[in-house]
Amino acid sequence: MKKIFTLLYQKIIRLELISIGFLGIIIFFSCKTYEIKLDNPIDAIADSIAGVFPPALTMHPLTQTVSNGDSITIGTYIIDHDTTLAGVHAHITYNAELIQLDTILPGVLLTNNGANTPLFTYTVVFGTIDIFAWYLGGEGALSYVTETGHIAELYFTALNSGETLVEYDTTQCELVTPLDEIISIQGIRNASITIQ
Amino acid sequence: MTLRYKVLIIYITFFSTIKSADYTGSIAFIDVVMDSASIVQYGELFSSMSSQLQGTPQMRVIDPEIVLSVVGQYTDFDDPERQIPDREIIISIGQELSADYVMYAGTKVGQYGSILTGEIISTRSGGAISTIQINILDVINALEAESNIASWALIGEEPPYELMQPRRDLFPKNPKDIKEDKTPFGALWRSTVAPGWGQFYSNKRLPGFAFPSVEAVLFGVLFFNFTQYSSAVKSLQESSKLYDKETDPDEVLRLRKETIGYYNAHKSYNKAMINNGIMIGTVWAINAIHAYVAGPRPQKFIHGPEPYRRK
């Protein structure tokens, strides 16, 4: 009986040694802490950490890498304007030799998820886009918004290899209230595109 | 919290060290030629030896009837040519009898009486303590000597050295004279390799089971923390990717909160794993130290306090 216990104990010791070694190796190689970078341009907190304070105009995603001929989608957003917003003029520039604009679609902010129909127009001149979106202020209808939201979605096609910024020109961008008062833009975040 | 656990572990370990210190000596006399008929004769011998060991209250002679019943499991008493069992079996018998020392011997009837020749070995270490020869007639003389010693004690005087000498010669006087097959270092390296191994080597079964059990529990906790950590890391990476891609403002805020939650969880499980590792290492070290401290070594003063300085 004693010999059985001794043999059993020797087996347990052997198993324990194997387990300890195995577990030790796993833990040694996988036991590390990760750092996170929460930098979504639609996140007002992340923007504040990046030094961009609201109300701000941002683009999502901030960076993307594509190949020649690929389509590129960039969303334009207004962040935490915290007041009544009735109209937007976004003046956007980009390198037209590298990317070509295909189309622009209105975002869900001013359409109130399709419930309203704001006036939405845009003009495209080689390398520049002007987007205008505003309410006409009909009585009883929603004539302003107060929250973070999507202004427009820009669709491009990559033409040549290189790197370009799709950026807001703050000197010409404008946000207005229903009373046509200017809302001061405190910050912008542009998009960077690398075409391989 | 971790400190409280550490204190608890240290307390338990040292408590078990104290509890497991095995200093209550007992000796079993094994003689394969003895039988029921000779027990009376041997009983006299044992009681003589017992009286010699009275000066050492911690020494106890195991009842020969009990010894006989255990020896009977290993030896065929009906075989007239039975041999003394192997040394390992003798040690096993001693361990089964919970004896610290075993004296195994054979008797030879000589011209001047029966001579009991044998060896005393430690059941804990397996080491030979002494090879002795006792003339049964000497034992009778020793009985007389004990009576004299008692007389001297009654009148409050120290008995002469000559009376004490037979008592002294029965066992070695110095622990360093004991040849150890097992050593504290043997226990140390074994427990360093695997917790509890050294304790089993020293026949300390309770701590032998306790240390690997505690280590197994700690490794279980470590494994649990590791699985939680891995899960948190996986969720962190997934949630972080979703956060980067998300464009709905409300969903972005939700994912931000969720990602930070997973980040904190993975950090706390990582910290728990490190603390767990420290605890495993601490228990492992305590186990090795315990194995060394409680390891097999010569027991001091097995023959009782020195009656006199040697002349």
Give per-residue pLDDT as tens, A116-171: 667 888 998 888 999 988 776 554 455 667 678 888 899 999 998 999 999 999 88
Q: For residue A163, give the H/E element and its range.
A: strand A162-168
- Residue A91: count other Cβ atoms within 10 Å of its Cβ: 16
Phi, psi of B260 (to 5 degrees): -65, -40
Per-residue tokens: A34:
């990760």
Please check the confidence at residue B112 and state whether its pLDDT lies above 60: no
A102 and A159 together in one domain:
yes
For B272, the closest chain A residue by CA position comes to A31
Q: Is A32 on the interface with B (CB under 8 A)?
A: yes
A129 and A191 together in one domain:
yes
| Domain of residue B238, residue span | 187-293
Please check the confidence at residue A23 and state whether its pLDDT lies above 60: yes
pLDDT value of residue B157? 75
Question: What average pLDDT does range B35-62 have in this prediction?
Answer: 56
In a domain, B207, yes or no: yes
- Residue B161: count other Cβ atoms within 10 Å of its Cβ: 13
In a domain, B5, yes or no: no
Of residues A31 and A67, the one with the higher pLDDT is A67
Per-residue tokens: A169:
């020109």
In a domain, A38, yes or no: no
Measure in Å the smallest separation between the Cα of B75 and chain A Cα atoms.
Answer: 18
In a domain, A25, yes or no: yes
Of residues B124 and A187, the one with the higher pLDDT is A187
Which residues in chain B are closer than 8 Å to A16, comparing Cβ atoms?
194-195, 212, 215-216
Which residues in chain B are closer than 8 Å to A191, comparing Cβ atoms?
none
| Domain of residue A19, residue span | 1-32
B219/A23 CB distance under 8 A: yes
Count up the domains in chain B and report the number. Answer: 2
Q: Is A180 on the interface with B (CB under 8 A)?
A: no
In a domain, B76, yes or no: yes
B161 and B53 together in one domain:
yes
In a domain, B247, yes or no: yes
pLDDT value of residue B86? 78
In a domain, B167, yes or no: yes
Please check the confidence at residue A191 and state whether its pLDDT lies above 60: yes
A97 and A146 together in one domain:
yes
User: What CA–CA distance (Å, rounded) separates B33 from B24?
Assistant: 28
Of residues B73 and B25, the one with the higher pLDDT is B73
B226/A23 CB distance under 8 A: yes
Phi, psi of A105 (to 5 degrees): -120, 145
Count up the domains in chain A and report the number. Answer: 2
User: What CA–CA distance (Å, rounded) separates B202 from B295?
Assistant: 6
Binned at pLDDT 50, 70 and 90, residue B300 comes out as low
B246/A40 CB distance under 8 A: yes
B93 and B200 together in one domain:
no
Give A28-81 as a 3 state SS string. Answer: HHHCCCCCCCCCCCCCHHHHHHCCCCCCEEEEECCEEEECCCCEEEEEEEEECC
A110 and A190 together in one domain:
yes
Q: Which 150-179 residues of chain A touch chain B by CB within 8 A? A: 150
User: What CA–CA distance (Å, rounded) separates A94 from A101?
Assistant: 9
| The residue to which tokens 């096609």 are assigned | A157
User: What CA–CA distance (Å, rounded) separates B277 from A27?
Assistant: 10
- CATH code for the domain in which residue A111 is found: 2.60.40.680
In a domain, B68, yes or no: yes
C-beta of residue B206 within 8 angstroms of C-beta of residue B302: no
Number of H helices, E strands in chain A: 3, 13
Give chain B as a 3 state SS string. Answer: CHHHHHHHHHHHHHHHHHHHCCCCCEEEEEECCCCHHHHHHHHHHHHHHHHHHHHCCCCEECCHHHHHHHHCCCCCCCCCCCCCCCHHHHHHHHHHCCCCEEEEEEEEEECCEEEEEEEEEECCCCCEEEEEEEEHHHHHHHHHHHHHHHHHHHCCCCCCHHHHHHHHHHCCCCHHHCCCCCCHHHHHHHHHHCCCHHHHHCCCHHHHHHHHHHHHHHHHHHHHHHHHHHHHHHHHHHHHHHHHHCCCHHHHHHHHHHHHHHHHHHHHHHHHHHHHHHHHHHHHHHHHHHHHHCCCCCCCCCCCCCCCCCC
| Residues paired with residue A121 on neighbouring β-strands, in sequence order | A132
For A26, the closest chain B residue by CA position comes to B226
Of B143, B163, B182, the residue that ends a domain is B182
In three-state secondary structure terms, A190 is coil
Question: What average pLDDT does range B150-176 have in this prediction?
Answer: 65
Residues in chain A: 196
Of residues B30 and A92, the one with the higher pLDDT is A92
C-beta of residue B101 within 8 angstroms of C-beta of residue B27: yes
User: What CA–CA distance (Å, rounded) separates A127 from A93?
Assistant: 6
Lowest model confidence (mean pLDDT) among A23-27, B166-170, B191-195: B166-170
Of B182, B205, B226, the residue that ends a domain is B182
User: What CA–CA distance (Å, rounded) separates A121 from A112?
Assistant: 17
Q: Which 115-154 residues of chain A touch chain B by CB within 8 A? A: 147-150
Binned at pLDDT 50, 70 and 90, residue B160 comes out as confident
B226/A27 CB distance under 8 A: yes
Helix-helix angle B161-170:B39-52, to 10 degrees: 120
Of residues B70 and B130, the one with the higher pLDDT is B70
Nearest to A45 among B92, B226, B256 (CB): B256
Q: Which of A8, A14, A27 to mutate to test the interface with B (most CBs of B within 10 A)?
A: A27
In a domain, B306, yes or no: no
User: What CA–CA distance (Å, rounded) separates B212 from B217?
Assistant: 9
A102 and A154 together in one domain:
yes
Residues in chain B: 311
A42/B246 CB distance under 8 A: yes
Of B131, B153, B182, the residue that ends a domain is B182
Binned at pLDDT 50, 70 and 90, residue B65 comes out as confident
In a domain, A174, yes or no: yes
In a domain, A37, yes or no: no
B267 and B175 together in one domain:
no
Which residues in chain A are closer than 8 Å to B212, comparing Cβ atoms?
12-13, 16
User: What CA–CA distance (Å, rounded) separates A52 from A132?
Assistant: 23
B142 and B214 together in one domain:
no
- Residue B7: count other Cβ atoms within 10 Å of its Cβ: 10
Q: Which residues of B touch A (CB under 8 A)?
A: 92, 193-197, 200, 208, 212, 215-216, 219, 222-223, 226, 229-230, 233, 236-237, 240, 243-249, 252-253, 256, 259-260, 263, 266-267, 270, 273-274, 277
C-beta of residue A176 within 8 angstroms of C-beta of residue A86: yes
Task: Give the distance from CA A15 to its chain's centroid.
Answer: 52
- Residue A153: count other Cβ atoms within 10 Å of its Cβ: 17
Please check the confidence at residue B17 and state whether its pLDDT lies above 50: no
In a domain, A171, yes or no: yes
A166 and A94 together in one domain:
yes
Name every residue whose Cβ is closer than 8 Å to that of residue B267 and which is 6 or more positions away in sequence: A33
Of residues A18 and B194, the one with the higher pLDDT is B194
